[in-house]
Structure 1
Amino acid sequence: MAAATDHDQKAGFARPLSISESVHEQIYQRIMSLEILPGARIPIDQLARELNVSQTPVRDALTRLEREGLVRKAHLIGYSAAPQLTPKEFDDLYRFRLMLEPESARQACLRLTPEKLERLENAAADMEKGEQPVSRNSRYSRFARADAHFHDEILKVADNEFARQALNDRHIHLHIFRLMFHSRVTQEALEEHERLLAAFRAGDADAAYHAMHDHIERSRDRLAAAFE
């Protein structure tokens, strides 16, 4: 198995991932890129052979992915990739986001300090910077993590743990990004995030509300084609 690395921002060098971290990353990328299809069984022994590792780090990775909502475990059956959202779940999810996230953006704007704004700026910048992804799979999986982090940082600044937990418990962004794999996601989302940041910089809470509302609506429209 090829050595993997993770960029240490403080030290300024790439450090090797542990075997467990590397296995988790590779299975994560397979799931997010639909190489492992939603609902497909994930045989531990076969995956261990493909990744040239023992079954232990594969089991550890699948346990972690189960906590993250991307893998399910059934008695006597084993692990499988979580099913994709149904059209009804997709519609319910976006109506829920439209109720929750625009107001959270407004509240975040009202609570911004220079330090908190810097955190949001850094989280947004991470979607464009960092180490160059080595493949299309890693590009999308990395963007998924960075996007989820950016939205979570806004919810942190809004200081409503109930809202934040409600979104995190559903692993919303991870499931959405499996839909996004073949869509025109990255550039449009980055432009929408920049409009949201502009509202934060201006201290315009109403503009932040509308920028987030617009972003979520556009995201929904981009992904609706996945159900056609």
Structure 2
Amino acid sequence: MGSAAESQGIQMVRPASIVDGVHDSIYERIMSLEIAPGARIPVDVVARDLGVSQTPVREALSRLEREGLVRKAHLIGYSAAPQLSRKAFEDLFAFRLLLEPECARIATQNLTPDSLQELEEAAADMGHGEAPVDRNSRYSRFARADAHFHDAILKIAGNEVIRQAFADQHVHLHLFRLMFHSRVTQEALEEHENLLAAFRAGDGARAQAAMHEHISRSRDRLMLAFE
């Protein structure tokens, strides 16, 4: 027999969806710098603000900790991860320039109609996707969609060691958190289209050059965060 709520046609919200909602809310605040790097994130305050119990807040913060956006310290609790230092930023881009252009070249050789379609859809998700709730929401979603697009290229290239190394670094989330600006997203879309054109043409050298240019320009855009 169903509950009274079910008999009245009321749809019950599953705990997982509550955690997802709390996670997305905190994530967007961190990515837009509404929660500043290093700032404490009190569980009770977040729970009160969002109108939920502390349990889904703790679960959401644990997920964000695994993504590298939140840190937990004994007797202190949760706080937003510190921003990348300039040295870490430069090291990260040196790492990317060493690997991603070559992975783009190899991915071109491995492309199938299905994997090319996957890249097309990932790129389209960045340009369109779900209607954003607000500017913060759009920027945060773009960061995740961008990470998915680059991961799809690494997956097609087929080197799981490189792919896992990028996943462990949470590259795109930390880079997008450096600067909250529409220029970052618009120019990236144009550069991704250049990459897709090379993939469609099956031109590995062109894909390699397009990826190198994209990463170099991304570095130049985000470098402004340190000025």
- Calculate the TM-score normalised by the size of structure 2: 0.92
How many angstroms apart in 1 are the aligned matches of 2:182 and 2:146? 15
Number of the residue aligned with 1:203 = 202
CA contact 1:72–1:79 (8 Å) conserved in 2: yes
How many angstroms apart in 2 are the aligned matches of 1:183 and 1:79? 29
How many angstroms apart in 1 are the aligned matches of 2:128 and 2:58? 32
Q: Does 1:185 align with 2:177?
A: no
Q: Structure 1: which amino acid aligns with 2:155?
A: K
3-state SS of paired residue (1:180): coil
User: Matches of residues 102-113 of structure 1 in structure 2 within 5 Å?
Assistant: 102-113=101-112
How many angstroms apart in 1 are the aligned matches of 2:192 and 2:164? 22
Deviations 1:6-56 (Å, cap 9, x if unpaired)?
Answer: xxxxxxxxx998111111110000101101011111110111111111101
Q: Which runs of 5+ in 2 are unaligned?
A: 1-12
1:183 Cα offset (Å): 5.3
Q: Does 1:124 align with 2:123?
A: yes
How many angstroms apart in 2 are the aligned matches of 1:129 and 1:93? 28
3-state SS of paired residue (1:36): coil
How many angstroms apart in 2 are the aligned matches of 1:188 and 1:124? 13
3-state SS of paired residue (1:85): coil
3-state SS of paired residue (2:68): coil
How many angstroms apart in 1 are the aligned matches of 2:221 and 2:20? 32
How many angstroms apart in 2 are the aligned matches of 1:180 and 1:150? 20
Q: Which runs of 5+ in 1 are unaligned?
A: 1-14
3-state SS of paired residue (2:79): strand
How many angstroms apart in 2 are the aligned matches of 1:152 and 1:86? 24
CA contact 1:183–1:223 (8 Å) conserved in 2: no
User: Matches of residues 1-228 of structure 1 in structure 2 within 5 Å?
Assistant: 18-182=17-181, 184-228=183-227
CA contact 1:36–1:81 (8 Å) conserved in 2: yes
Which consecutive segments of 4 or more residues in structure 1 shift more than 4 A? none
How many angstroms apart in 2 are the aligned matches of 1:183 and 1:216? 17
How many angstroms apart in 2 are the aligned matches of 1:102 and 1:221? 17
3-state SS of paired residue (1:38): coil
Deviations 1:68-97 (Å, cap 9, x if unpaired)?
Answer: 110011111111111100000000100110
Higher helix share: 2
Q: Structure 1: which amino acid aligns with 2:174?
A: H
Deviates more, 1:211-220 or 1:123-132: 123-132
Q: How many residues align?
A: 214
Specify the structure having the higher radius of gyration (Cα).
2
- Calculate the TM-score normalised by the size of structure 1: 0.91
How many angstroms apart in 2 are the aligned matches of 1:81 and 1:187? 27
3-state SS of paired residue (2:35): coil
% same residue: 73
How many angstroms apart in 2 are the aligned matches of 1:180 and 1:139? 14
CA contact 1:43–1:78 (8 Å) conserved in 2: yes
